[in-house]
């Protein structure tokens, strides 16, 4: 898989997080690293940076000195009491005085497991350092946050994503045009893992990646199609907007939540008034919540279109 093939091996390979990499590199070189907490969205380099840290600290012995666990799969207190403690209580192999335990998605740990983890972090500081990764720091208890140096990752900028696309295209000998790059950035949303998987899927179909191929492979509606739906609804033609929306969903196999998110993005970029944007986004948030609670997708999407149509008519 390209996600493994292009996984960073050096600090310099991690793009878009320069300030974080610089600070972490200094900690690694001093070999007096505290516990670390990486917070940010998926696919921005949290796991890659943790593995680079292990490689740089332990060299060829890095796999023996690293325990990597995904807390979303193993989230109970027994994991902390058994697996983590057994690994933490033994000394590291080599010159570095501590091992590393990397807990991915640790915001999925139960509260009891987090309390047990807090005690483990206290008791085994001499022999072990923890690197915790989470999407939301608010789900991590304060005692754990206070024991860690916190690094907040951000989504990659367009220039960084384009740089990565061009590097992969060059290595894999793939032709890719500017519109396809824009489409890849739009669909991936700054998630490098999703970007690499999407490029690999597109390349398996044909050696030249185009905008059309990207949207078809990603099951993502073209922005122009979503714009047309919104314009039709704003124009007051509910039936035409509804038909276009349903056709787009069936064409790309989209879920209701996917459509709502794309409608929100399109509204933000549109030329309608700021007040109308705020009203539509507020309604879209309510619709998305209802869908997550199990409401009928088609009915909720029709409700969203109805709101947009009535919004314009009310002003008139």
What order of strands is seen across the sheet that includes strand 148-152? 66-70, 99-104, 128-134, 35-39, 148-152
Q: Within 35-75, where are the H helices?
A: 46-58
What is the 3 state secondary structure string of 150-218? Answer: EEECCCCCHHHHHHHHHHHHHHHCCEECHHHHHHHHHHHCCCHHHHHHHHHHHHHHCCEECHHHHHHHH
Sorted by where each starts, the structural domains of the chain and their CATH numbers stand as 2-152 (3.40.50.300), 158-218 (1.10.8.60), 223-315 (1.20.272.10)
**pTM to 2 decimal places:** 0.81
C-alpha to C-alpha distance for 92 and 20, rounded to whole angstroms: 26
pLDDT digits (tens, 9 = 90+) for 159-188: 899 999 999 999 889 899 899 999 999 888
pLDDT digits (tens, 9 = 90+) for 91-121: 788 788 899 999 988 888 888 888 888 888 8
Instruction: Give 316's pLDDT tier (boundaries 50, 70, 90).
Output: very low
233 token code pair: 């609804």
249 token code pair: 């969903």
pLDDT digits (tens, 9 = 90+) for 41-89: 988 999 999 999 999 999 888 988 898 887 556 666 666 777 777 888 8
Name, of 31-35, 143-147, 220-224, the range with top average pLDDT: 143-147
C-alpha to C-alpha distance for 314 and 236, rounded to whole angstroms: 11
C-alpha to C-alpha distance for 298 and 256, rounded to whole angstroms: 7
Closest CA to 71 of 82, 61, 80: 80
């Amino acid at each position: 898989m390209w996600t493994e093939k292009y996984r960073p091996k050096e600090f310099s390979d991690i793009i878009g997080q320069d300030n974080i990499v610089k600070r972490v590199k200094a900690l690694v070189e001093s070999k007096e690293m505290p516990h670390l907490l990486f917070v940010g969205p998926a696919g921005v380099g949290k796991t890659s940076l943790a593995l680079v840290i292990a490689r740089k600290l332990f060299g060829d012995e890095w796999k023996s000195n690293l325990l990597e666990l995904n807390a979303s799969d193993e989230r109970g207190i027994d994991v902390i009491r058994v697996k983590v403690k057994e690994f933490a209580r033994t000394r590291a192999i080599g010159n570095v005085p501590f091992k590393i335990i990397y807990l991915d998605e640790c915001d999925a740990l139960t509260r009891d497991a987090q309390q047990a983890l807090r005690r483990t972090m206290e008791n085994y500081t001499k022999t072990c350092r923890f690197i915790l990764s989470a999407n939301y720091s608010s789900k991590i208890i304060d005692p754990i946050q206070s024991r860690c140096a916190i690094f907040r990752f951000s989504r990659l900028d367009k220039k960084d994503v384009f740089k990565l696309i061009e590097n992969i295209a060059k290595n894999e000998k793939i032709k890719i045009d500017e519109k396809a790059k824009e489409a890849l950035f739009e669909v991936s949303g700054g998630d490098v893992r999703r970007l690499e998987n999407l490029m690999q899927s597109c390349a398996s179909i044909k050696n030249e990646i185009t905008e059309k191929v990207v949207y078809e492979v990603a099951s993502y509606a073209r922005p122009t199609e979503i714009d047309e739906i919104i314009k039709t609804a704003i124009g007051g033609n509910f039936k035409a907007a509804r038909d276009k929306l349903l056709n787009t969903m069936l064409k790309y196999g989209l879920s209701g939540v996917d459509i709502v998110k794309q409608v929100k993005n399109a509204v933000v970029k549109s030329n309608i008034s700021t007040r109308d944007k705020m009203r539509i986004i507020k309604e879209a948030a309510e619709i998305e919540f209802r869908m997550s609670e199990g409401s009928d997708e088609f009915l909720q999407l029709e409700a969203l279109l109805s709101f947009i149509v009535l919004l314009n008519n009310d002003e008139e």
